Structure formats: C-alpha cells, structure tokens
A and B are shown apart, each in its own frame.
Chain A
C-alpha cells in the first residue's frame, strides 16, 4: 500500500484534468455558442456555405473530440516530464482510434508515462545514439509498445465495458433516472468544483462521449444553479428579516453569480468556507432536486459546459430551464432558512482538523 501511495497515481490524473479543464471550458463555450445560434457541429469547413455559428460549433466540437488525447498527454507528462509528451499524444490518439474514449485516454496516459520512465531507466544506448533517445527512440518505442497494448489488449475490454454502461443507462426507467439524478445532483453540489465534482465530471464526460447526455447535464446545471441560488438566498433572507451575508460576502456574490450563469461555480467558495456545513446542506438538497428534474425530464444537453448556454443545445430545453429554476429556488430557500443573521455569527476559529498523516509526505 505504501508503494502504491508513493506512486501518487492521483496526482497524475489531477494534473491531466487541470490541463483539460480550460480546453473543455473554452471549446465547450464555442460549441455552446455555435449551437445556441443554430450552428451545426458536423459541417465541413473546407466547403463553402457554412455559417459563422457552424464554424464555432465545429471548432468546439473537434477540440472536445480530442479530450482523450489531452488527458493521456497530461498524465504521461506528469509521470515522465517532457519525454512523456510525444508518446502521450500518440497513444491518446490511439485511444480515439479504438473508441476507448476517456477511460482509454487515462489508461493510455499511464501506460505511456511508465513506459517512458522504464525506457529511460533500462534501455542503454551507445554514446553516439544518446541524442536520438528523446527525439526518436523514446517516442517510437513507447508509442509502439503502448499503442499495441492499447489496440490488442486494452481495446476490447473497454469497448465491452462502455457498451455495458451505455446499455445500463439507456435501459433506466424514469424512476431510476430520478434516483440517478438525485445522486449525481447531490454529489455535484457537495464540493463546489473540488475533487468529488472533478471525479464525477470525468465519469459523466466519458458518458457523454458515448451519447449519454443526462448525467453531465445534471452536473453542469447544478454548478450553474448553485451560485445563482446563493444570490437569491440574499433576497429570501431579507424576506425572513435576516441579513445572511456580510458586506464582503455580498461583494463576492456580485462576481460569483454572473460566473454561475456561465457554469463556473468556484466563485462562491469563499462564502462557503465561512459557513461550510449549512452551505453544503443547501447545495446538496438543491442539487438533488435540480438533478432529479434534469434526469427525469431528460434535459440532455449535447455540450459539456456552458451554463445557461447549454439550454439551446438540449433535447428538452424546458426541462433544463426547470431544473435550474428548481435548483436555484431550493438552494436559496434552504440556505436562507439555515443561515443566521450576520450579527449573530461568531468569528469562530473552527477547530482545525488534525492533518491526516496519510496525505503528508516529508522529504
């Protein structure tokens, strides 16, 4: 176990995700905008006759299609530094070739990374060939071995796994969709873009690549609605004769709420930190409610990001709108009820948790 922890597998995945997020946001926005105004992401840009919105949609869509490659490159780079980039790229594209999607990208990245380290460690070349190592030998050998592993060993199990998953999700009846929505919604609501959110995100993004749009719609709608709900809570609080936010928090909200409209939830983190438990309760309940609506009514956005911009891309746009509205209302009301008036808030120095020794490395 100690050895596994030393490997720090999580760090490599998180590094890749941190490179991937700007791509998903940037490209997701492009395709959301494009599709919102009627663009078609399947248009051929080399033939005349495409619209401006088509161009946006295509640009965004192509970038999103390359996400497995970005993930694999990120992981390989995290493991093996610069020499890992080329093999990561090549093996990631191989993941696309075998339709192994996201999971294939992740597996490919680790394979590429560890192959590169092994080659550097164990492959001895004569002095005249030293220069060829990073330029030719490592990329070629790593990509060759890694690619073959992907095609002949990894490919089939992944295809089977994805088929099973898609079949399972397709076959879910309305009541199970509701439960699923509640679970995804609540999970997404708990940590405001933190590790749980990111893990669920990776999972549901992979599902969207298989054509299952429900879960990712749920997650992103929760991230969209949460900051807006916090904003609305201010006014609900007023109705209950409570000032639930300090001056600084109100200022923070002024930036955080617009960010919410475009799917960025992190803006409200400072507010959450001041009152963690109550905020989490409010967002989890709101998220569960919104999630249930969006899954059961099958809002199904076809883009992975965009906040309110996702609505025009949805199979059932009204379901998306309803989901956001429900989420916002529930979060706002629960939060306003739970929170005390600011005059009663203690500047409580919360007792810090003891540092879990598992997570600390001393070198």
Chain B
C-alpha cells in the first residue's frame, strides 16, 4: 500500500514531527511505503510531489489545523485524524487505512 500523508499540529513545532516519525515507522513496520509532508510553523517541509500523490493508494491527514493544498488529495481516499491519534496510535491508524482500502 502506498500512503501519502500530511501532518500539521497546532503549535507546529513538536507533535507535527513526532507524528511524522511515528507514521513512517508504523507504515514501514507494516510493509507499506509512505511519504509524509509536514506543515509546521516553519512552513511546508518534505512537500509531496505530484507523482507521489498520483501513485498513492490512500492519504492520511493527521491535522489539527487547516492545511494548504488539501485539494491535492481529491482523487484519493482520505483518512483525517487529529495529530494526537497519529502520535498515540500510529499502528492502529495504519491498520485502519488497510481496512478502508479493503
């Protein structure tokens, strides 16, 4: 399963990046590919390429705030959760993504 993701928490300096790490680890442990873009207070980092989005199967948006470019994912199934969920239960989140795709 190819996953693209955006993480954006409120303060934008801690949970955003913790969520990124946790999602990356959880996805890889489950044998999936993942690319995580972060939109912290410093700005967008690791921006997803058009190619990555086109080839993806599902998008996981772990966001507390409005993100820029949400329309990029309009052709994908999307799972939206608060950042906290990605931080606390990343493995269950990846499982949920697997379920959604059937």
Q: Do A and B bind each other?
A: yes
Interface residues of A (CB under 8 A from B): 10-12, 14-15, 17-18, 21-22, 77-78, 193-195, 198, 266-267, 269-270, 273, 352-356, 359-363
| In-complex Cβ contact of B10 among A14, A269, A359, A361 (8 A) | A14
| In-complex Cβ contact of B64 among A11, A22, A267 (8 A) | A11
Expressed in whole angstroms, the minimum distance between the Cβ of B97 and any Cβ of chain A is: 9
Which B43-91 residues have C-beta < 8 A from chain A?
63-66, 77-82, 84-85, 87-91
Q: Dominant SS at the B interface? A: mixed
Interface residues of B (CB under 8 A from A): 9-15, 18, 41, 63-66, 77-82, 84-85, 87-93, 96, 100
| In-complex Cβ contact of B81 among A21, A269, A359 (8 A) | A359
Expressed in whole angstroms, the minimum distance between the Cβ of B27 and any Cβ of chain A is: 15
Given contacts A22-B41, A359-B85, contact A266 B14 (CB under 8 A): yes
Decide: B82 and A361 in contact? CB cutoff 8 A: no
Expressed in whole angstroms, the minimum distance between the Cβ of A328 and any Cβ of chain B is: 21
Decide: A363 and B18 in contact? CB cutoff 8 A: no
What is the CA–CA distance of A198 and B9 in the complex, to the nearest angstrom?
A: 12
Given contacts A18-B10, A269-B18, A353-B88, contact A360 B96 (CB under 8 A): yes
Contacts of B9 in A (CB 8 A): 18
With A267-B14, A352-B90, A355-B81 already in contact, 16 other A-B pairs whose C-beta atoms are closer than 8 Å:
A11-B64, A11-B66, A18-B11, A21-B12, A198-B10, A266-B11, A266-B13, A355-B85, A356-B85, A359-B81, A360-B80, A362-B77, A362-B100, A363-B77, A363-B78, A363-B79
Residue of A whose beta carbon sits closest to that of B42: A22
| In-complex Cβ contact of A12 among B66, B79, B91 (8 A) | B66
Decide: B79 and A360 in contact? CB cutoff 8 A: yes
What is the CA–CA distance of A267 and B41 in the complex, to the nearest angstrom?
A: 15
What is the CA–CA distance of A193 and B91 in the complex, to the nearest angstrom?
A: 24
| In-complex Cβ contact of B65 among A11, A353, A359, A361 (8 A) | A11
Contacts of B10 in A (CB 8 A): 14, 17-18, 21, 195, 198
What is the CA–CA distance of A198 and B77 in the complex, to the nearest angstrom?
A: 31
Given contacts A352-B92, A359-B85, contact A273 B18 (CB under 8 A): yes
Shortest Cβ-Cβ A-B pairs, 6 listed: A15-B65, A361-B80, A352-B89, A266-B14, A78-B66, A363-B78
Residue of A whose beta carbon sits closest to that of B9: A18
What is the CA–CA distance of A361 and B15 in the complex, to the nearest angstrom?
A: 20
Given contacts A14-B10, A355-B93, A362-B77, contact A77 B15 (CB under 8 A): no
What is the CA–CA distance of A270 and B22 in the complex, to the nearest angstrom?
A: 12
Decide: A269 and B100 in contact? CB cutoff 8 A: no
What is the CA–CA distance of A198 and B15 in the complex, to the nearest angstrom?
A: 14
Residue of A whose beta carbon sits closest to that of B41: A22
Expressed in whole angstroms, the minimum distance between the Cβ of A350 and any Cβ of chain B is: 9
Contacts of A267 in B (CB 8 A): 14
What is the CA–CA distance of A353 and B85 in the complex, to the nearest angstrom?
A: 9
| In-complex Cβ contact of A360 among B85, B87, B90 (8 A) | B85
For this complex, 21 residue pairs linking A to B, each with C-beta atoms less than 8 Å apart, are A14-B10, A18-B10, A18-B41, A18-B65, A21-B10, A78-B65, A195-B84, A198-B10, A266-B11, A266-B14, A273-B87, A352-B90, A353-B88, A355-B81, A355-B92, A359-B85, A360-B80, A360-B81, A362-B79, A362-B80, A362-B100
Residue of A whose beta carbon sits closest to that of B26: A352
What is the CA–CA distance of A361 and B81 in the complex, to the nearest angstrom?
A: 7
Expressed in whole angstroms, the minimum distance between the Cβ of B14 and any Cβ of chain A is: 4
Decide: B64 and A14 in contact? CB cutoff 8 A: yes
Given contacts A11-B66, A12-B66, A360-B81, contact A193 B14 (CB under 8 A): yes
Residue of B whose beta carbon sits closest to that of A356: B85
Contacts of A362 in B (CB 8 A): 77-80, 100
Decide: B89 and A354 in contact? CB cutoff 8 A: yes
Residue of B whose beta carbon sits closest to that of A16: B65
Expressed in whole angstroms, the minimum distance between the Cβ of B21 and any Cβ of chain A is: 10
